[in-house]
Amino acid sequence: MATQNTRTLARLMMAPSVVVLLIWMAVPLAMTLYYSFQNYNLLTPMNVSFAGFFNYQYFYTDPAFFQSIWNTLVLVLGVLAITVIGGTAIALLIDQPIFGQGIVRILVISPFFVMPPVAALIWKNMIMHPGYGVFADIAKFFGAQPVDWFAQYPLFSVIIIVAWQWLPFATLILLTALQSLDSEQKEAAEMDGANFFNRFIYLTIPHLSRAVTVVILIQTIFLLGIYAEILVTTNGGPGYASTNLTFLIYRTARLGYDVGGGAAGGIIAVVLANIVAIFLMRAVGKNLDK
Amino acid sequence: MARKVTTGARIGWSIAAWVVALLIFFPILYAVITSLKTEQEAIAGFSLIPSGTFENYVTVQTQRDYFKPFMNSVILSVGSTILALIIAIPSAWAMAFAPTKRTKDILMWMLSTKMMPSVAVLLPIFIIFRTFGLLDSRVGLTIMLTLINLPIVIWMLYTYFREIPGEILEAARMDGASLWKEIVYVLTPMAVPGIASTLLLNIILAWNEAFWTIQLTTTNAAPLTAFIASFSSPQGLFWAKLSAASTMAIAPILILGWFSQKQLVRGLTFGAVK
Task: Evaluate whether residue A78 is within a structural domain.
Answer: yes
Q: Which CATH number fits domain B64-268: 3.40.50.1970, 1.10.3720.10, 3.90.550.10, 3.40.50.620?
A: 1.10.3720.10
Q: What is the pLDDT of residue A2?
A: 53
By CA distance, what is B121's nearest residue in A? Answer: A28
Contact A114 B268 (CB under 8 A): no
By CA distance, what is A100's nearest residue in B? Answer: B14
Contacts of A176 (CB under 8 A, 6+ apart): A211, B262, B265, B273, B274
Compute the distance between CA of residue B220 and CA of residue B71 in angstroms, rounded to an integer.
11
User: What's the Cα-to-Cα distance from A290 to each of A280, A285, B105, B159, B161, rounded to whole Å?
Assistant: 16, 9, 15, 12, 16
Contact indicator for A37, A261 with CB cutoff of 8 Å: no
Task: Evaluate whether residue A162 is within a structural domain.
Answer: yes
Q: Considering CB atoms only, which of A183, A270, A281 is closest to B116? A: A270
Task: Evaluate whether residue A189 is within a structural domain.
Answer: yes
Contact indicator for B73, B245 with CB cutoff of 8 Å: no
Using a CB-CB cut-off of 8 Å, the residues of chain B touching A225 are 117-119, 211
> At B141, is the secondary structure helix, strand, or coil?
helix
Task: Evaluate whether residue A46 is within a structural domain.
Answer: no
Tell me the nearest-neighbour CA distance from B28 into chain A, angstroms.
8
Regions of chain B short of the pLDDT cut 70: 1-5, 233-237, 271-274
> Amino acid letter at B110?
M
Q: What residues are paired with A49 via a beta bridge?
A: A39
State whether residue B201 sits within 8 Å of chain A by CB: no
Compute the distance between CA of residue B84 and CA of residue B215 in angstroms, rounded to an integer.
21
Compute the distance between CA of residue B247 and CA of residue B200 in angstroms, rounded to an integer.
20
> At A115, is the secondary structure helix, strand, or coil?
coil
Query: pLDDT (tens digit, 9 = 90+) per residue, B150-172?
Result: 998 998 888 888 888 877 777 77
Contacts of B230 (CB under 8 A, 6+ apart): B222, B236
* Test the B interface: residue of A6, A82, A125, A222 with most B CBs within 10 Å: A125
**Number of domains within chain A:** 1
Helices A63-94 and A54-61 meet at what angle, rounded to 10?
A: 70
Q: What residues are paired with A50 via a beta bridge?
A: A38
**Beta strand residue intervals within B65-211, DSSP E:** none
Give the single-character DSSP code of A251: I
Contact B118 A225 (CB under 8 A): yes
State whether residue B124 sits within 8 Å of chain A by CB: yes
Cα dihedral A206, A210, A212, A216, rounded to 10, equals: 150
Q: What is the pLDDT of residue B274?
A: 62
* Test the B interface: residue of A19, A68, A83, A122 with most B CBs within 10 Å: A122
Structural domain including A246 reads 53-289
Using a CB-CB cut-off of 8 Å, the residues of chain A touching B109 are 21
Task: Evaluate whether residue A105 is within a structural domain.
Answer: yes
Q: What is the pLDDT of residue B119?
A: 87
Query: pLDDT (tens digit, 9 = 90+) per residue, A180-219?
Result: 876 777 777 777 777 777 777 777 887 788 788 888 888 8
Q: What is the pLDDT of residue A238?
A: 86
The percent helix, strand, coil of chain A (3-state, each to 5) is 75, 0, 20
Total residue length of chain B: 274
Contacts of B132 (CB under 8 A, 6+ apart): B140
- Tell me which residues of chain B, numbers 65 to 104, contact chain A at a CB-CB cutoff of 8 Å: 87-88, 90-91, 93-95, 97-98, 100, 104
Q: What is the pLDDT of residue B1?
A: 43
Domains of chain B: which residue ranges? 7-58, 64-268
Task: Evaluate whether residue A18 is within a structural domain.
Answer: no
Helices B67-97 and B188-208 meet at what angle, rounded to 10?
A: 140
What angle (nearest 5°) sits at the alpha carbon of residue A151, between those of residues A149 and A152?
Answer: 65
Task: Evaluate whether residue A10 is within a structural domain.
Answer: no
Contacts of B261 (CB under 8 A, 6+ apart): A105, A106, A109, A172
Task: Evaluate whether residue A71 is within a structural domain.
Answer: yes
pLDDT in tens, chain A (290 residues): 456 777 788 888 888 988 999 998 889 889 888 888 888 777 777 777 776 777 788 777 888 888 888 999 999 999 999 999 999 999 989 988 888 888 999 999 999 999 999 999 899 888 888 878 888 888 888 888 888 888 889 999 999 999 999 999 999 989 888 888 767 777 777 777 777 777 777 778 877 887 888 888 888 888 988 888 898 888 887 888 888 888 988 888 888 788 888 888 888 888 888 887 787 777 666 655 54
A96: CATH: 1.10.3720.10
